[in-house]
Amino acid sequence: MIPAAFDYQRAASIDDALGALAGGEAKIIAGGMSLLPLMKLRLANPGKLVDIGRLDELRRVGPTADGGFEVGALVTYAEAMATTSLDVAKECIAQIGDVQVRNRGTVGGAIAHADPGSDLPALGLALDYQVVLRSSRGERVVPLDGFFRGAFETDIAPDEILTSLRRGPLPAGARGSYQKMAHPASGYAIVGVCAIVAWDGGSISHARVAITGVGEVAYRAKAVEDALMGSDGSASAVAAAAAHAADGQTVNSDIYADRDYRSKMAEVYTRRAVDAALGR
């Protein structure tokens, strides 16, 4: 398929890109791994593309002064995997697409696109990331938990650009794992679960469990987290917590996994992710 006709502008700066968004018909493009396929299928028909792919100010990545971490929107998957010290992040990113996608696709693009089967939103939610959004009106910081409003829909206003993702320091001793049931052709998550846990005095003192591929958006499985908190992390405690993986969700049903099967796999992969994070 060939996209519908559109105008194109290469932004010289963030302010230049923000100015080009005025009017509401323009779309930001960077790696193009998500938007271009939609345009070829005529599922997206922006009147104008604003290319921010050469803005080096959006490529910064590294620790923050408070011990956290910040990733610029234009950092590619491959660059993120090369710079992170977190095994769980490497484990997750290594399962995204293929070499070409990881070398070209961007962290900011993945979060802004909000694909229900994307891996990165689960990782970001489990690590308590926030998104930094900028417009001509100023800058605002939004927790990733609540940022995804629906399939391919986020809290980004039409005149805003996602410039980076930012998190605070992790609890001492926190460990994580990302476990995924992947679609055999696309690699997208039929079910993907990221778990981050920490111990204190023989019980679980920190628990974050985020799930993608199951509902309309990636989400924090807060009933699982609540069940894990204060538990001894035994196999039975983890299994009981994992049974709540799909609580409150309208579970997806398609040709790859119907609702009942996907719900059960959410439970199974949640248990696997928590067990792996606990070192079992």
Residue 24 has pLDDT above 90, yes or no: no
pLDDT of residue 238: 98
Q: Which of 276, 43, 79 is nearest to 178 (CA)?
A: 276
Q: What is the mean pLDDT of residues 42-60?
A: 93
Domains of the chain, with CATH numbers?
Answer: 7-50 (3.30.43.10), 58-167 (3.30.465.10), 175-277 (3.30.390.50)
pLDDT of residue 265: 98
Degrees to nearest 5, angle at CA 86 with 83 and 92: 90
Q: What is the mean pLDDT of residues 167-193?
A: 96
> Which of 1-10, 109-118, 166-175, 201-210 comes out lowest in average pLDDT?
1-10
**Residues in CB range of 20: below 8 A, 6 or more apart:** 9, 11, 26, 48, 50
3-state secondary structure of 243: coil
pLDDT of residue 280: 86
Identify each DSSP E strand in 106-174 by its residue range.
130-135, 138-143, 148-150, 153-154, 161-167
pLDDT of residue 66: 95
pLDDT of residue 228: 98
Is pTM beyond 0.85 here? Answer: yes
The crossing angle, in degrees rounded to 10, of helices 259-277 and 235-242 is 150
Q: What is the mean pLDDT of residues 188-199?
A: 97
pLDDT digits (tens, 9 = 90+) for 125-168: 999 999 999 999 999 999 999 999 999 999 999 999 999 999 99
C-alpha–C-alpha distance, residues 29 and 152, integer Å: 15
